[in-house]
Structure 1
Amino acid sequence: MNLPLVLGLLAAAYLIGSIPTALWVGRRFFGIDIREHGSGNSGATNTFRVLGKKPGSAVMAFDVFKGWAATSLASVMVSQGAIRPDQLLYFQLACGVLAVLGHIFPIYAGFRGGKGVATVLGMMLAIAPGTVGICLLIFLLVLFISRYVSLSSMTAGVAFALLQLLPPFRPDNSLLLVFGFVLAGLLIYTHRANIGRLRAGTESRVPLFGRK
């Protein structure tokens, strides 16, 4: 193992995840700190809520890209001989988790970030693109019907875990199956406040068809 290269790319994964997309978009184009509005999170959901669908879509797309790019650094480790091919999944998960942690605790923004849902999506897109593609369709369908990003995210996360139980989507490495269920549980846990607002009927809907 080429330890210096591995450690350098793991650090790069965190730094990529730390790019505070929503914060920079809010400051550059709207002159606000997104963390001082809406739910107070620096993520795509709050950007949709506060700034509208176009900024929200841009932030979500880039946050997904962050997760994908950071996770893909594991393939660079393999191509450079830093790790063995059979270790790829372990380092994909490590890079992806570091990117998500970077999004939640960004070094560029005082360690105050978002919930990391879009970054998780990008991470899993790099690891299991077929399964995630179906989950993305589920996300968009629930979002179109309900206009709740939180509900859409939780539904897609649970769908990812359950889909892996089916033979066409069952991963070769059981670690990914376990990770899928852990991920679904974490998504529900981090959205517990949203669940309360959904039950109370006070959760904000995203302006899919508004002017913003």
Structure 2
Amino acid sequence: MIVDAILVVAAYVVGSIPFGFLLVRLVRGEDIRDRGSGNIGASNVWRVYGWTLGLPVALLDVGKGFVPALLAVEIGGDWAGVLAGAAAMAGHARPVYLGFRPGGKMVATAGGVSFALVPLAAACCLGVWLVTFAVFRYASVASLATAAALPVLAWAFGASWPIVGFCIVAAVGVFLLHRTNLRRLVAGTEPRFSRRRGMPA
């Protein structure tokens, strides 16, 4: 129990590292929260600055979900992996380093956790994201489609019930954090990625 608690706390601390905020501040001397949608996640960084900053942020956000969840599941089993993964995602959404103010929308970090807990389902979800994004050019639509597919695919690949339960909760969390995107999609004001440098059309 003590080891599991340490893993969960460590996962939250790692998940709280605001890579989008830090890389933009380091490379461009700007605050990503003042640009684009104001979100510190990889989608907004990519939309504003292109792939040269967006891709590293995306990979780091995936990694900060993958590493804690993988360590926890190897040490303590599925339940420990689920709790550590959830803690990493919570840290990404409400990072301690930014005073618990809103962080990212958990998609990349949830993807990293999923690759640690149910890799085959996560790989299929990556395909869902890529195809949906290629067709619609909305990162939010791709993220929501992927979130909806995750628990179904986890169940289909025979994941344990704690992991399937985690996938359901993660999907709900992603939808809740995309409430403003959903409203913009309905209103027709959601920024679409163009094919030039990822900037909104």
- Output the TM-score relative to the length of structure 2: 0.90
User: What residue identity is the alignment partner of 2:15?
Assistant: G
- 2:197 aligns with 210
Secondary structure of the residue that 2:69 maps to in structure 1?
helix
Distance in 1 (CA, whole Å) between partners of 2:79 and 2:167 is: 14
Distance 1:178 1:110 in 2: 29
Pairing 1:30-41 to 2, within 5 Å after superposition:
30-41=28-39
Query: Which runs of no fewer than 5 residues in structure 1 stay unpaired?
Result: none
* Partner amino acid, structure 2, of 1:106: P
- Indicate if the aligned counterparts of 1:53 and 1:208 stay in contact, CA closer than 8 A: no
Deviation at 1:69, TM superposition (A): 0.7
Which residue, 74, 98, 113 being the options, matches 1:109? Answer: 98
Shift of 1:62: 0.8
Q: Provide the aligned length of Structure 1 versus Structure 2.
A: 198
Number of the residue aligned with 1:65: 63
Match of 1:170 among 146, 154, 158: 158
Aligned partners of 1:70 and 1:47: how far apart in 2? 24
Distance in 2 separating the partners of 1:208 and 1:92:
37
> Among residues 118, 129, 132, which one is paired with 1:128 in the alignment?
118
Moved more, 37-46 or 17-26: 37-46
For structure 2, the 5+ residue unaligned runs are none
Alpha-carbon shift at residue 145 of structure 1 (Å): 1.9
The structure 2 residue matched to 1:42, chosen from 37, 40, 43, is 40
Question: Conserved in 1, the CA contact under 8 Å of 2:118 and 2:154?
Answer: no
Partner Cα separation in structure 1 for residue 194 and residue 80 of structure 2? 38
Alpha-carbon separation, structure 2, partners of 1:10 and 1:165: 24
What is the alpha-carbon distance in structure 2 between the residues aligned to residue 97 and residue 32 of structure 1? 30
Which has the higher Rg, Structure 1 or Structure 2? Answer: 1
State which of 8, 23, 26 in structure 1 corresponds to 2:24. Answer: 26
> What RMSD, in angstroms, separates the aligned Cα atoms of the two structures?
1.8
Please report the TM-score for the alignment, with normalisation by the length of structure 1: 0.86
Deviations 1:95-149 (A, max 9, x none): 1111111111212222231111110110111000001101101101111222211
Per the TM alignment, residue 55 of structure 1 is displaced from its structure 2 partner at its CA by 1.2
List aligned pairs for 1:144-163, cutoff 5 A.
144-163=134-153
